[in-house]
Amino acid sequence: MDRLLSNSASLKSNEKCDTCTVRHRAVCGALSTKELNHLNQIARDKNFSAGDVILSDEEPADFVGIITSGAVKLTKTLADGRQQIVGLQFASDFLGRTYNDRNHFFAEAATDVEICSFLRHDYEVMLERFPELENRLLQHTLDELDSAREWMLLLGRKTAEEKVASFLLMLAKKSSQIGCHHNNALTFATFTLPITRTDMGDYLGLTIETVSRQITRLKARKIISITGNRDFLVPDLEKLAEVAGNDVSDIN
Amino acid sequence: MDRLLSNSASLKSNEKCDTCTVRHRAVCGALSTKELNHLNQIARDKNFSAGDVILSDEEPADFVGIITSGAVKLTKTLADGRQQIVGLQFASDFLGRTYNDRNHFFAEAATDVEICSFLRHDYEVMLERFPELENRLLQHTLDELDSAREWMLLLGRKTAEEKVASFLLMLAKKSSQIGCHHNNALTFATFTLPITRTDMGDYLGLTIETVSRQITRLKARKIISITGNRDFLVPDLEKLAEVAGNDVSDIN
DNA sequence: CGACACTTTGACTGTAGTCAATGTAAGTGG
DNA sequence: CCACTTACATTGACTACAGTCAAAGTGTCG
């Protein structure tokens, strides 16, 4: 602990957890104030600029962490350069692989990113010490698995139009979680794309041209409208959901 | 417990765990003999015939379990009937969703299936009581997430030929885990398809016709040969891996 | 043997990919 | 302030890979 306390500049103060914007949504929300204090002691902030590689599949990662701001893309690449984004993570998401020193993907900062990080080994000790923390991580991992499987359906069976609509719908729903809820019947949404068209293609298993064409079509059909370059407005989420091809039971 | 003990016919005896073929690979491998005894008390065997629905995404599932024999496919379906298999599970895999009474997919028996099952609530109590068990479940879930992401790369970016070759390679590797290891340099493999061509298509995001054509091509190129109808022989795994487009670092 | 389910093969089509050019916006330096 | 660069996005013409529709082939079981 002395080792960790020595660099006081990058250490988080106790109050930092109290004012943390993601605390309740993140895995640490499972902990009591006292327990949180222990975690606090070993946490340190890391900052990345858009484009930075946060984790590589080549070298073992020595840390894990919770994203406190920004967007992170998890990518896998074939030998000839074809790329697939296998996960997009935002504030409050857990980043990194416990119990395995090898990642099977890259994590890249899609925007500027702030991470509340822990040395992997130290964090694993905490997991052992606080079963609630491990339980919360398990639940988070199960949710991620559900999302991954939802995306498998999209990649394997949806058309280009449905793929693009599904992605925009996902962002629209995410933004409304953070922004204001209208009286249960949320009908419209605005949001800003956190990633480029190329990334959209890599996330949806499409080329950038196809993504662009589908966006143009959705615009022409008045299902979306674009203000500025990356700012989207969806006037009727129901209509977008219809195009996305989700059946009623879908939550994601 | 009385309630559970009453139906002695379907109860597992203590010895059953000792002779269990999947014990060491499954999540219960984390437990000591004494702890295992507790789990044993609440376990009961369930049997399903090929085609049976094991879990539905419509009704909440009240049980979870470990597959002791057979193959289970996890499926998701769009409103118009397009289907995607989002996971294939075999002996020793954990089936079901803890901490959530809603499944987001169907689980269907691809072959006849035997499951060592637990009431979901009872199992969650065990998870709380034995942190090693929960830890093992977390690790299993993390591995499943890794596999799901590997499959996202396949679905989003691989060609039909690469998809089929990847699937066959996966089965070949799985069979050699169960069968005999040759002195580290395993060059050939034989295995039996656990699923139909239709299922292969649903797993790979292809039509049955495309799957069939690609298999014919691989046969013509002598990369695989088929004995009987579902029995495959791969003379040179390296060559198959090359067609599958996996880069060297891939483990799965 | 016939019925049925599953698989293969063929001819044709269509969706998304490829290649190429143009458009747009933000930033740099003369 | 304007020309220039650079990165990102859109649009167009053409192509190809996988999908669709249809028919024939194979194997299994009663």
Q: What is the mean pLDDT of residues A201-213?
A: 98
Instruction: Write down the pLDDT at residue A247.
Output: 62
CB contact under 8 A, B251 and A150: no
Q: Which residues of A touch B160 (CB under 8 A)?
A: none
Give the number of A-B residue pairs with CB atoms closer than 8 Å.
Answer: 127
Element (H, E) at A167: helix A160-178
Per-residue flag: A128 CB under 7 A of strand D: no
- Tell me the sheet residues that pair with B189: B234
Residues A188, A182: Cα–Cα separation, whole Å = 9
Helices B160-178 and B237-244 cross at an angle (nearest 10°) of 140
B5 by Cβ neighbours in 10 Å (0-12 / 13-18 / 19+) ranks as exposed
Helix ranges, A130-159 (H): 131-157
User: pLDDT tens-digit profile of B21-64?
Assistant: 999 999 999 899 889 989 999 999 999 999 999 999 988 889 99
According to the model, what pLDDT value does residue A59 have? 87
Residue B252 confidence (pLDDT) above 60: no
Within 7 Å of a protein beta carbon, the nucleotides of strand C are 6-11, 15-20, 25-26
* Rounded mean pLDDT, B232-238: 92
Confidence of residue B16 (pLDDT cuts 50, 70, 90): confident
Max mean pLDDT range (A24-28, A200-204, A246-250, B18-22): A200-204
Strand C, CB < 7 A, residues 148-167 of A: 159-161
Average pLDDT over residues A36-65: 92
Task: Give the angle B142-B147-B151 at the CA atoms, nearest 5°.
Answer: 145
Of B137, B146, B157, the CB nearest to A104: B146
User: b/e per residue, A67-92, with b = 16+ CB within 10 A?
Assistant: bbbbbbbbbbbbeeebbbbbbbbbbb
User: How many other β-carbons are positioned within 10 Å of the β-carbon of residue B134?
Assistant: 23
How far apart are the C-alpha atoms of A148 and A76, rounded to whole Å?
A: 14
Answer yes or no: is B209 CB < 7 A from strand D: yes
Judge whether residue A231 has pLDDT over 70: yes
* Residue A127, min C-alpha distance to chain B (Å): 9
Average pLDDT over residues A225-241: 90
Give B155 CA → C16 C1' in Å. 15
pTM: 0.91
A108 forms beta bridges with A53, A73
Mean pLDDT of chain B, nearest integer = 88
Confidence class for position B7, pLDDT limits 50, 70, 90: very low
Q: Which nucleotide is nearest to A196 (CA to C1')?
A: D8
Strand D close to B228 by CB, under 7 A: yes
Least trusted range by pLDDT, from A94-103, A127-136, B243-252: B243-252
Q: Quick check: B3 pLDDT over 80?
A: no
Q: How far is B15 from chain A (nearest CA, A)?
A: 30
| Strand D within 7 A of B207 CB | yes
Q: Closest to B145 (Cβ–Cβ): which among A76, A145, A155?
A: A145
CA A217 to C1' D14, whole Å = 21
Please determine, for residue B250, whether its predicted confidence score (pLDDT) is greater than 70. no
Q: Which residue has the higher pLDDT, A246 or B164?
A: B164
pLDDT at A206 over 60: yes
Q: How far apart are CA A26 and CA B138, in angstroms?
A: 17
Is A180 a residue whose pLDDT tops 90?
no
Looking at residue B247, what is its pLDDT? 61
- What pLDDT, on a 0 to 100 scale, did the predictor assign at position B54? 95
Q: What is the pLDDT of residues A84-130, one digit of tens each?
A: 999 999 999 999 999 988 889 999 999 999 999 999 999 999 999 99
All residues of chain A having their beta carbon less than 8 Å from the beta carbon of residue B155 are 152, 155-156, 205
Q: Which residue is nearest to nucleotide C7 (CA to C1')?
A: B212
Closest residue (CA to C1') to nucleotide C19 in the complex: A209
Please write the tens of the pLDDT for every residue from B110-137. Answer: 999 999 999 999 999 999 999 999 999 9
Q: Is A156 in contact with A205 (CB distance < 8 Å)? A: no
Axis crossing angle, helix B160-178 with helix B208-220, rounded to the nearest 10: 70
Tell me what pLDDT residue B186 has.
65
Angstrom distances, CA of residue B206 to CA of A211, B163, B191, B242: 21, 9, 22, 20
Which is more confidently placed, B251 or A153?
A: A153
Cα separation, A121 vs A135, in Å, equals 18
Note the pLDDT of residue B4: 40
Measure A11 CA to D30 C1' (Å): 76
Interchain proximity A134–B139, CB inside 8 Å: no
3-state helix, strand, coil in chain A (%, to 5): 45, 20, 35
Provide mean pLDDT across the span A15-23.
85
Domains of chain B: 2-149 (2.60.120.10), 158-251 (1.10.10.10)
Top residue of B123, B126, B138 to mutate, by most chain A CBs within 10 Å, is: B138
User: For B88, what's the count of Cα atoms within 13 Å in the CB-facing half-sphere?
Assistant: 19
What are the φ/ψ torsions at residue B121 (nearest 5 degrees)?
Answer: -60, -45
Span between the terminal Cα atoms of chain B, in Å = 41
| Sequential DSSP letters for B48-105 | E-TT-EEE-SSSPP-EEEEEEES-EEEEEE-TTS-EEEEEEE-TT-EES-TT-S--SS
Tokens 């993907």 sit on residue:
A105
| Tens-place pLDDT, residues B159-208 | 999 999 999 999 999 876 544 455 555 688 999 999 999 999 999 999 99
Residues 6+ apart with CB under 8 A from A116: A12, A20, A43, A44, A45, A65, A66, A68
Per-residue model confidence (pLDDT) at position A3 = 41
Q: Kindly report the average pLDDT of chain A as a whole number.
A: 88
pLDDT at A5 over 50: no
The DSSP H or E segment spanning A14 is helix A14-19
Q: How many angstroms is C1' of C20 away from CA of A206?
A: 19
Candidate from B83, B149, B151 with C-beta closest to A87: B149
CA at A218, C1' at C17: how many angstroms apart?
20
The answer to whether strand D lies under 7 Å from the CB of residue B159 is yes
